[in-house]
Every structure is written in structure tokens, then in C-alpha cells.
Structure 1
Amino acid sequence: MTERTLPPEALDAWATVLRDHFGLAPDDIPIALVLDLARAVAHDVARPAAPLSAFVAGLVAGRAGGSADDIAAAVAAITGLARAHAQDTAGGTP
């Protein structure tokens, strides 16, 4: 099996490619926030739900204006939904 986990420097390099191609500033791609979202959703919902949730967070944040606060609010909302989903599917126990 091929190792699919990227070392941090590879992720940073990919973020640089994306920023350069789309004309984004370094703060426009909150890597840690997106990874935290993906981890929470993968744990509380399902692994395949993580990239979908990251896409929805970006869509929602963009529609709200795309500021850092809009991104943080979208991520917080989706993380909260994932936690609630986990509690609901576990019969209400945290």
C-alpha cells in the first residue's frame, strides 16, 4: 500500500501552489482550521464526510463574504453539527 499521508512541508507546498495560482494571501488558506474541521467530521460523522464538509464550509463562508470570521463561523457551525450528529447517533450520550 502507498503511504498517502503528506508531511507538513508537502501540505505547505501545495497550499503555496494554490495561493499562487488563485492569487490568494497566506492567511486566505487557514490550514490548521480546515484540518481541525476535517478531523472533527471524520471522527464524529464519517471519513468521507470530511472533504464534503470542508467544501460546504468554503461555500457557506464565501456566500457570507469570505472573511476570516466568515470562515471561522462556518467551520464552527459544521463542527457543532458533527458533534450533535455523533450524539444523536450514539443515543444522546456524548
Structure 2
Amino acid sequence: MNVLAEWTALVCRELGVDPEKVDRDVLLDLTKEVAHGVARPAAPLTAYLLGLAQGAGTAPPDAVERLVAMAGDWERATKETLGDE
């Protein structure tokens, strides 16, 4: 077992999360896109917010895809937002 798999298993056990419900690769891809498209500190924050939304039952089924798209379009969205001021 590699370190990441072992850590994930231990954290899941500690937090009472079913490890079968954790899609590690999807989450890592999401945080990579956010880190590169928005800012590095935004990656763990986004993952945390997604987890809160999932736990509250408010995350849409395509939440990860939507967040990846938002991160990929961040520069354009920021220019549009700043242009509105």
C-alpha cells in the first residue's frame, strides 16, 4: 500500500467515512485544476467546500465538473468581473 492510500484509509477510519465513497483521483484532479487555474491555496479550500456541500446534500451531481470548468475559465471570469467595476 502506498503512503497516499494508507493515509486515505486512516483518515477515512478516523472520520467515519466509507473509503469506497472516496474517489481520490477525481478529487486530486479537481485540486490540480484549481491550483493551476485559480491559486494554490484555493485547491484545499475548494475540496473542503465540496466536502461540506456533499455532506449537507447541497452539491449538485455534476459539482466536480462544474468546479473544474470554473477553475479553467477563471482568468476570463476575473477579467469580466473586474471590467464591471
Q: Would the TM-score normalized by the shorter structure come out above 0.5?
A: yes
- TM-score, normalization: structure 1? 0.69
1:84 is aligned to 2:73: yes
Mind listing any 5+ residue stretches in structure 1 that lack a counterpart? 1-7
Q: Which has the higher contact order (CA 8 A, sep 6+)?
A: 2
Work out the percentage of aligned pairs sharing the same amino acid.
32
Task: Tell me if the contact between 1:60 and 1:74 (Cα under 8 Å) persists in the aligned partners.
Answer: no
Could you tell me which residue of structure 2 aligns to residue 4 of structure 1?
none
Let me know the Cα RMSD of the aligned residues: 2.4
Task: Tell me if the contact between 1:44 and 1:83 (Cα under 8 Å) persists in the aligned partners.
Answer: yes
Counterpart Cα distance in 1 of 2:63 and 2:55? 10
Detail structure 1 runs of 4+ shifted over 4 Å in the superposition: none
| 1:57 Cα deviation after fit | 1.0
Could you tell me which residue of structure 2 aligns to residue 26 of structure 1?
19
